[in-house]
């Protein structure tokens, strides 16, 4: 009898391993689908609900208190952000412009660049497109601002990108807290509501988002004289164009994304006062160098290694454009 049990045991273990391999993908698919549903509801809520509240922004051992008013009117999002500590600053975001009022009362108005999102930049995230470079996890529940939330994590698999941890309100689907995280789940920046009021009226139909368009845009072929050898793994060029510099010079702009994180490469002929090496403000890193009389600068909310690789891979094609 003992010999019979010993003979059957390896066979049973083999069967269990086969079953585990068969079940595991379905569980992963279930988590991805649940996370996708949460993120989609969150994106729709951010764009369609009217809400206002007080939140705190934590970065570089600094803490800033803000008051946010978010309105959705006639198919367009309007936001007004007021700093509650330090110098008085107000930022208003409308359809295609961002207006900033500085402490001296002098207003500044600038055109919003393509892909610019609101304060909580969560739109266009599709978990099924991220699995090669991010892990998707449902991380339980927590209370934020006195409300119950579900926690979803998008965790980078390497050191070339950042991820997010979202605390999604179970009642309204608004993200009440957002953490920018590294591959170990350590928070680099935190944005959290301490109090929030949501308009109880019926939500409007959400409008298309520029951020969603960038994250879902197809890969583009580089046109012109510049080439980018071996971009950081997972990042693809999705758009390029020419911008006007305040000095009047033309600046070529190339946008790369891995469908969650993104960085921009700017190339201009004027090399005076150009960045050489790398620098950062919070989680936003920049790197620069000069090539054949051109200044190349890469900027994005990505680790320094990513923007450094981006500028090192840029080169001027010797062949004339066709």
Nearest to 81 by CA among 60, 95, 63, 98: 98
pLDDT > 90 fraction of the chain, expressed in percent and rounded: 42
Report residue 71's pLDDT band, with 50, 70 and 90 as the boundaries: confident
Taking the alpha carbons at both ends of the chain, their separation in whole angstroms is: 81
Length of the chain: 322
- List CB contacts of 5: < 8 A, sequence separation 6 or more: none
Beta carbons of 98 and 109 less than 8 angstroms apart? yes
Least confident of 4-18, 115-129, 179-193: 4-18
For residue 231, name the pLDDT band (cuts at 50, 70, 90): very high
The pTM score is 0.79
DSSP labels, 233-302 = TT-EEEEEEEEE-TTS-EEEEEEEESSS-EEEEEEES--TT---EEEEETTEEEEEEEETTEEEEEEESS
How does the average pLDDT of the chain come out, rounded?
A: 80
Q: Dump pLDDT digits (tens) for 161-189.
A: 999 999 999 999 999 999 999 999 999 99
């Amino acid at each position: 009898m003992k010999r019979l049990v010993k003979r059957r045991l390896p066979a049973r273990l083999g069967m269990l391993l086969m079953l585990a391999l068969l079940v595991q993908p379905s569980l992963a698919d279930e988590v991805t689908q649940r996370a996708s549903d949460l993120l989609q509801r969150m994106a729709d809520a951010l764009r369609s609900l009217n809400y206002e509240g007080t939140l705190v922004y934590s970065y570089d051992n600094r803490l800033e208190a803000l008051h946010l008013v978010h309105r959705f009117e006639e198919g367009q999002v309007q936001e007004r952000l007021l700093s509650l500590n330090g110098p008085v600053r107000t930022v208003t975001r409308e359809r295609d412009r961002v207006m900033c009022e500085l402490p001296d009362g002098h207003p500044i108005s600038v055109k919003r660049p393509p892909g610019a999102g609101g304060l909580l930049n969560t739109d266009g995230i599709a978990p099924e497109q991220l699995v090669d470079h991010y892990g998707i996890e449902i991380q339980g529940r927590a209370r934020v601002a006195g409300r119950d939330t579900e926690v979803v994590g998008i965790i980078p698999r390497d050191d070339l990108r950042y991820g997010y941890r979202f605390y999604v309100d179970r009642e309204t689907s608004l993200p009440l807290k957002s953490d920018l995280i590294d591959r170990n789940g350590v928070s680099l920046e935190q944005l959290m509501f301490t109090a929030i009021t949501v308009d109880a009226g019926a939500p409007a139909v959400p409008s298309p988002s520029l951020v969603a368009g960038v994250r879902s845009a197809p890969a583009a072929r580089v046109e012109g004289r510049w080439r980018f050898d071996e971009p950081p793994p997972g990042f693809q060029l999705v758009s390029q164009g020419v911008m006007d510099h305040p000095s009047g010079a033309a600046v070529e702009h190339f946008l790369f994304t891995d469908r969650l994180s993104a960085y921009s490469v700017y190339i201009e002929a004027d090399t005076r006062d150009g960045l050489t090496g790398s620098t950062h403000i919070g989680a936003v890193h920049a790197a620069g160098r000069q090539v054949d009389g051109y200044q190349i600068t890469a900027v994005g909310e990505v680790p320094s290694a990513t923007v450094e690789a981006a500028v090192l891979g840029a080169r001027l094609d010797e062949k004339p454009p066709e």
